[in-house]
A = this chain, B = another copy of it.
Amino acid sequence: MGLDSLITPACLIDEAKFSANAERMKKHVSAQGVAFRPHVKTLKSLQAAHYYAPADMPITVSTLAEAEYFASAGYTDILYAVTLTPNKLEQTQLLLAQGVKLTVLIDSLDACEMLVSRWRSACSLAVALEVDVDDHRAGLKPDLPLLLEIAQRLEEARSLSFAGVVAHAGASYGCFTDDARRTMAEQEVSRILLAVSRLNAAGIACPMVSVGSTPTALSDVSRKGITELRAGVYATFDCVMAGLGVCQFDDIAMSVLTTVIGTQPDKGQVLIDAGWMALSRDQGTASHDVDCGYGLVCDELGNILDGWYVSQTNQEHGIISHMHNPNATVEAFSYGHRLRILPIHACATAAQFPSYYLVRDNTVAESWPRISGW
């Protein structure tokens, strides 16, 4: 099936780039001598996961809906990497009753006490503690007495077990050089290991010592003491990752196929049928040296059209203009022509689509459904 048969906007995955990105991480993690637990939150698709996270691998999920979806396809070792809330206890129990080895995350005594008082199940729940390694968002500082107190409380509680520690160096999204990312990766390792050594000294074992974000996971640092790496967006990449220097723009495996619906030559603008409903409202490169707006423009085959980007979006309208020349001639664009837009943030763009089209040799090879919701 040709690209011209698709209704636009449509979300495309370039198979060659997708495979190459997956292979790059696989080789890197293997060279780092550590296990890998991919995050499936970017595409939330079984067919996509076959390329980078087959069912015999441990995975990370961002919602229990993802956990249910992947569990139903045979995935058994799942880390739910967002603090568990009381209203998700029943979903959690059902997953354990299915035989899933689910690990949940908390970072407070209040959450621990909620589990101690409310977890009533024949299955023991594995609970990991989130450690704050970069002062970025959530987690317990590794030197806090509270860390030991909560781990101890989990060890003593009936039907709960302390699974270990988990960290995510989200601050790596502000690291624009290899050196800065390496420093952040070393910090991620050293701070979580401080937590581990304190737990061990208190006689508490730490079976899981899990770190990762795409920028830090791809750094080459010692992983001694780390049991697993996590990363998610590396299989597609996006303009944010390219802007950081983690990949090249040409490595980006996801794009949104769109059609030109008009031009405004006096304004140097081209209108397309991909607005924020297709591209998302993410403007994650606004603080980068190159602000890619709502996405970079490529021709139908995926070749980047230098300087052209989506500068504005409404619900179903996107406006393309030239970064450096607001009066650029738009003659090369005409009604009905197809273009591809490289996403700013692949997780956000993917979430706008019910399914993706796998593109092989510039034809549509497969359609991959995805899931949404919580």
Contact = CB atoms under 8 A, between A and B. Distances in A.
Interface of A: 4-10, 41, 62-64, 82-83, 85-88, 91, 107-108, 110-111, 114, 137-138, 170, 259, 261-264, 271, 273, 276-278, 280-283, 314-317, 319, 334-336, 345, 347-348, 351-354, 372-374
Contacts of A138: 261-262, 264, 271, 317
Given A62-B277, A62-B316, 18 more contacts: A7-B64, A7-B87, A63-B277, A82-B273, A82-B316, A83-B261, A83-B262, A83-B271, A85-B273, A108-B335, A110-B335, A138-B262, A138-B317, A170-B314, A281-B282, A283-B283, A354-B372, A354-B373
Given A137-B314, A276-B348, A8 B110 contact: no
Which A-B residue pairs are the 4 nearest by beta carbons? A110-B335, A83-B261, A281-B281, A85-B259
A339 to B, nearest CB: 12
A317 B85 CA distance: 12
Contacts of A283: 281, 283
A82 B170 CA distance: 39
B261 A87 contact: no
This chain's copy number in the assembly: 2
B315 A41 contact: yes
A317 B82 contact: yes
Nearest to A135: B267
B7 A82 contact: no
Contact of A281 (B7, B108, B280): B280
A87 B281 contact: no
Nearest to A112: B335
A316 B354 contact: no
A114 B9 contact: no
29 contacts: A4-B87, A7-B64, A7-B87, A7-B88, A7-B91, A7-B374, A8-B85, A62-B315, A63-B316, A83-B262, A85-B259, A85-B261, A85-B273, A107-B262, A110-B334, A110-B336, A111-B262, A111-B335, A137-B314, A138-B264, A170-B314, A276-B282, A276-B348, A278-B374, A281-B282, A283-B283, A315-B347, A351-B352, A354-B373
